[in-house]
Amino acid sequence: MLFTLAQTTGNLKAMWMFGFVAAALLIFLVFVIIIVNRYRRCPSNRILVIYGRVGKDKSSRCLHGGGAFVWPLIQDYAYLSLEPLVIEIPLEGALSLNNIRVNVPSTFTVGISTDPVLMNNAAERLLYLTVDQIREQAQDIILGQLRLVIATLTIEEINKDREKFMKLINENVEQETNKIGLELINVNVRDITDESGYIQAIGKRAAAEAINRAKVEVAQQERDGATGESMAVREKTVNVTREQTTAIQAQKELEQQQRVRVSALEADAVKGEAQAKRDRETTIAQREAETVASKKQAEQTQRVKVAEAEAFATVGENTSRAQMAESNAKLAEIQAEATRRSQVALAKAQEAVLLAQRDQELARLARDQIAPQEIEKKRIEIAAEAEAEKIRREAHGQADAIRAKYEAEAAGVQLVLEAKAEGYRKLIEACGTDGAVGPTLLLIEKLPELVREQVKAVQGLKIDKITVWDQGTGSNGTGRNATADFVSGLIGTLPRLHELANQAGIELPSALGRVRQDGKDGKA
């Protein structure tokens, strides 16, 4: 019996030990399962947010990558997606710094940041929100900041300095979106337009300026080409004329030498004068051609200047229209603001309306009176400058023509004198050792001209008779008076004069008498 009791006690003890071990194993197994189930891993495209009791003065703990143990009962977890959000911003009617409303449709790409501070901001403000709710919050923030950026810039800065515009958008928008845990990934401004068409007018003005510059450059190149061609043709004509003149001059010199040896000197002089006259006419024709070319070049330059003046006038008109459009836009803005405020306070709205009417009247006066006067003043100034430039160029061309004419005349006179000098030199050489023959022949050559001029001096006088007053007593002791001495001396020189004329091949006038061939003295 005692043995049976001891055996029963042993069995109970063994059963108790087995139950204790089994319970310990069960508790351990449950603990392992709980640990496995509460350990959370974070994917690369998400943020693990653990909230609850996570530390002193902390509302949550955020992890990107890795994993963490989430204590049951006192902690819980959730995920935030890092996928980018594309937000369409159909911004219309944003007021710029110069009171022109612009439309800036754009696309913004944002996403939750992995920065520790920004992750906590996202966990506090975006946890358990849907994608549409997050997009709506970000769209409101971006719209406000985009309007703020546009209000600080003029429409010219928005249109021209895109880099500055995008930099301000990134700074302002990113600063505000960071407050809710979002970061700005990309900004794409699709287009910039305005209700008044000011940006389009700026584009047209820039295109017109580029076209005008291109036209001016083309005209300048054409002018340079035409000028070079004219200079080449002129140089060719001058060289050809010079060579022809040289050849003709050499030929005439040979002919002159031949005729000097076999013919009279007067024919050589006539040939030299004809040659000089022909050279002078050739040179005058050449200078006239150069004058015509210079005049055509001046007319071409004048047309270029007129085109430039018209381009500047067009720029002034576009500027005036832009100012008018700006004034109208400002007036419309004031009226719209007055209408909106009329819903809040009628008295302030009426005051704004009166101010708007006053500004409208001032704008109308500026448009109807001041602007046309300024445009007319600018047009008169441009026309005066163009007329002055035309007068200056015409005077310059006339001065060049006059200088060319005088240079040509001087060259012709120089050639005539050189030809005469050469003829005189050859005349002296032909006279040989008798140095008195040359001057005598030249005197005889000019004798018909002298007689002709003397006849002209008295041909209009009517003379019935000639009376010579003389005392009748000569001072030479011969008893003859001065008149008798003059007549006898003249008659005595006639034979020698006729002999000299025969040697030179010149026939004297019949009034001087003739010399008989039989050697007897002729009568005067």
Largest CA distance in the chain: 229
- Identify whether the C-beta of residue 513 lies closer than 8 Å to the C-beta of residue 494: yes
Provide the residue-wise pLDDT of the chain in tens; the chain has 524 residues: 555 655 667 677 777 777 788 888 888 777 777 766 778 888 888 898 988 888 777 888 898 888 888 887 888 889 899 899 999 998 888 888 888 888 889 999 999 988 988 988 998 888 888 999 999 999 999 999 999 998 998 888 888 888 888 899 999 999 999 999 999 999 998 888 887 777 666 766 666 777 777 777 777 777 777 777 777 777 777 787 778 778 777 777 777 777 667 666 665 666 767 777 777 777 777 777 777 777 777 677 777 776 676 767 677 677 767 777 777 777 777 777 766 776 766 767 677 777 877 777 777 777 777 777 777 787 888 888 888 888 888 888 888 888 888 888 888 888 877 877 787 777 777 766 666 666 666 667 777 777 677 666 656 656 555 555 555 555 555 556 666 666 666 666 667 667 766 765 666 666 666 766 654 444 43
Of 206, 70, 26, 183, give the one whose Cα is nearest residue 116.
Answer: 183
Query: Beta partners for 87?
Result: 108
Locate the domains of the chain by residue range. 14-78, 83-195, 201-429, 433-460+478-524
Exposed e or buried b for every residue in 272-281, given b needs 16+ CB within 10 A?
beebbeebbe
**Cα 502–Cα 457–Cα 277 angle in degrees, nearest 5:** 65
Token pair of 15 as six digits: 């059963």
Report the relative pairing of strands 75-81 and 193-194 from DSSP bridges. unpaired
Of 112, 144, 145, give the one whose Cα is nearest residue 131.
Answer: 112
Query: Beta partners for 106?
Result: 89, 189
Q: How far apart (Å, rounded) are the C-alpha atoms in residues 267 and 249?
A: 16
Q: What is the pLDDT of residue 436?
A: 64
Q: What is the pLDDT of residue 468?
A: 57
Residue appearing with tokens 């950026």: 149
Q: How far apart (Å, rounded) are the C-alpha atoms in residues 518 and 512?
A: 19
Q: How far is CA 188 from CA 108, 125, 179, in A?
A: 6, 26, 22
Q: What is the pLDDT of residue 346?
A: 72
- Identify whether the C-beta of residue 416 lies closer than 8 Å to the C-beta of residue 283: no
| Strand boundaries in 381-440, DSSP class E | none
The distance in angstroms from the start CA to the end CA of the chain is 218
User: For residue 81, how many C-alpha atoms fall within 13 Å in the half-sphere facing its CB?
Assistant: 9
Token pair of 282 as six digits: 């050739």
Query: Beta partners for 88?
Result: 107
249 φ, ψ (degrees, to nearest 5): -65, -40
Name the amino acid, one letter, at 66: G
Residue 252: which residues within 8 A CB-CB, separation 6 or more? 271, 272, 275
- Reading phi first (left if > 0) and then psi (alpha if -120 to 50, else beta), residue 280 is in alpha
Instruction: State the DSSP H helix or E strand holding residue 51, giving kind and residue range, or none if neither.
Output: strand 46-52
Q: Is 0.85 surpassed by the pTM of this model?
A: no
Q: What is the pLDDT of residue 160?
A: 80
Q: What is the pLDDT of residue 516?
A: 67
Of 145, 101, 150, give the one whose Cα is nearest residue 335.
Answer: 101
Q: How far apart (Å, rounded) are the C-alpha atoms in residues 403 and 421?
A: 27
- Identify whether the C-beta of residue 70 lies closer than 8 Å to the C-beta of residue 76: yes
Considering the domain delimited by 83-195, tell me its CATH architecture: 2-Layer Sandwich (3.30)
Query: How many other C-beta atoms can be found within 10 angstroms of the C-beta atom of residue 237?
Result: 14
Name the amino acid, one letter, at 129: L
Q: How far apart (Å, rounded) are the C-alpha atoms in residues 373 and 410?
A: 55
Query: Beta partners for 108?
Result: 87, 187
Instruction: State the DSSP H helix or E strand holding residue 238, giving kind and residue range, or none if neither.
Output: helix 198-262
H, E, C per residue of 486-520: HHHHHHHHHHHHHHHHHHHCCCCCHHHCCCCCCCC
- Identify whether the C-beta of residue 385 lies closer than 8 Å to the C-beta of residue 306: no
Q: How far apart (Å, rounded) are the C-alpha atoms in residues 422 and 429?
A: 11
